[in-house]
Structure 1
């Protein structure tokens, strides 16, 4: 595997300047392929789910290897890496969605905020008040700072273009089928477990970068509360953000007809609209800190 630190950093710059491609997004194309494969392979079976995830993630890796082979020379490889990095990163789009939510909350338009929330997370927005909406956004920005930015950069630094593409395939499949629902509890099991494994190190790196960008309180809350979350990874990100922002995260979440009660993280007040903006700024700082680390190690 060839790794281009310059290409990864250039991809971060492209994402910051351009955001996600508005048309012909490669990740959206992968999602359409995954949907067609699901129609052919679906059964209420873990083994079918293992085959489904293996075929699609393996196919993404093979495509990455092919791209590495056609990239000529150091410059060519750096440019191809930059293009793939831009395609798989989602930090700028995450921040834009967060700011749209912040503006709706600041003007008191809860209906607009409820309509927009599904762009960030699967939580049921019906009945959420301003504090509940702000908490949902801060938690989503925290968790997705790892998923959308740090994790793809980590796997790109470890395994080059195939690492970038396989990670995004894993994360996309988890978003599509990794739910504890009657349809996907068994079929989506492999995708969800793959996502847990792929995000184990990046989530902890994200927590460490939040501490680096914000200070001691983030470290204190991360150490105390990071393992309390039912997810092996999301809690590290959310706890670090809670400490950095001085807010309290966690509580009751509703997903359709399912209710989850999560332990609280942090010692501060409930999040407000202004905290959403602060979370977006912190997420961007963490992304650039990750890029700086990659640049220093290139």
Structure 2
């Protein structure tokens, strides 16, 4: 179970260091490297003049290529490492940039800090860094709701899922997953440009996140102050979410905090009429973001501890 130990190390390094700004300025980040490749392929192969079927095939080919190349590079690097405990250390360091544990905490905490002191304008600016909805339309409850939803969903997408696949397959697992997730975030949208071209990327992302999303929800349930409330909300409302995966950690978080999440929101001037999670509960406030962050930290500590135990078992 050396892969599990490497993922635990990656989590610990990221919790301590994050991804330093100086390092980002010099070399960027693996996700930005993937983003550049995907953007080039999108511009080159996603032609609006092509029929729908051709664009789906082109998008599937792009997704397969990006995931295959990414996982292949990870496999080649992993194969070159000597099989002993030093391999765990090296794999952990190499996996570190692909675990956004510290970054997620810092971005959500920035929203909580500004909202707590009543600076709505600054809070809107901070939450705009992590969600796609129109910040100008958000009041205090809307800002808190957006931050908590982002925290819950990205706990799965940015930490639990990459660590899950990394624990199973090592470096090719975590690198391959980040390729899948980046593809989905860039071309997996239901827009005129990407409805067909990004279809395969979105479906692959749904599949890759199926288990991690439910695992994240379970972690929140186990460590909630009111586990029964969290569990009942997750079981009742998870499938009401537009996403087959995001509803699980979000509903578990809603039940744990005793607040309602999701619901109608504004994207690019249009209202998206989403279902409520934990409907009938109160609206969240700045203090609930702090409570959500505390639950997130406990869940990540439990996950890292479980990985460490697996490594030493």
Establish whether residue 203 from structure 1 lines up as the match of residue 202 from structure 2: no
Mapped contact 2:112–2:289 kept (Cα < 8 A): yes
CA–CA separation in structure 2 for the residues paired with 1:174 and 1:36: 15
CA–CA separation in structure 2 for the residues paired with 1:34 and 1:76: 33
- Please point out which of 68, 79, 82 is paired with 1:69: 79
Partner of 1:256: 268
Establish whether residue 245 from structure 1 lines up as the match of residue 257 from structure 2: yes
- Please point out which of 67, 91, 99 is paired with 2:101: 91
Q: TM-score, normalised by structure 2?
A: 0.91
Partner of 2:36: 32
* Counterpart secondary structure, 1:259: strand
Deviation by residue 1:230-281 (Cα, 9 ceiling, x = unmatched) = 1100000110000111111121022214432121112531010111111122
- Please point out which of 135, 139, 151 is paired with 1:129: 139
CA RMSD of aligned residues (A): 1.5
The gaps in structure 2 that reach 5 residues or longer are 49-54
* Counterpart secondary structure, 1:262: coil
Q: What are the within-5 Å matches in structure 2 for residues 14-25 of structure 1? A: 14-22=13-21, 23=24, 24=27, 25=29
Partner of 1:277: 290
Mapped contact 1:3–1:158 kept (Cα < 8 A): no
Q: Cα distance, 1:3 vs. partner? A: 4.6
Q: Give aligned pairs, total.
A: 297
* Counterpart secondary structure, 2:131: coil
Q: TM-score, normalised by structure 1?
A: 0.95
* Gap change, CA 1:14 and 1:92, over 3 Å in 2: same
The gaps in structure 1 that reach 5 residues or longer are none
Mapped contact 1:89–1:148 kept (Cα < 8 A): yes
* Counterpart secondary structure, 2:284: coil
Q: Cα distance, 1:20 vs. partner? A: 2.2
Q: What are the within-5 Å matches in structure 2 for residues 123-162 of structure 1? A: 123-162=133-172
Mapped contact 2:221–2:231 kept (Cα < 8 A): yes
Mapped contact 2:63–2:201 kept (Cα < 8 A): yes
Deviation by residue 1:11-56 (Cα, 9 ceiling, x = unmatched) = 1100100112431222222212222222222224111111111111
CA–CA separation in structure 1 for the residues paired with 2:96 and 2:194: 30
CA–CA separation in structure 1 for the residues paired with 2:66 and 2:156: 22
CA–CA separation in structure 2 for the residues paired with 1:265 and 1:83: 38
- Please point out which of 250, 271, 289 is paired with 2:302: 289
Q: Cα distance, 1:111 vs. partner? A: 1.6
Q: Cα distance, 1:116 vs. partner? A: 2.2
Mapped contact 2:108–2:127 kept (Cα < 8 A): no
CA–CA separation in structure 1 for the residues paired with 2:84 and 2:142: 49
Q: Cα distance, 1:4 vs. partner? A: 2.1
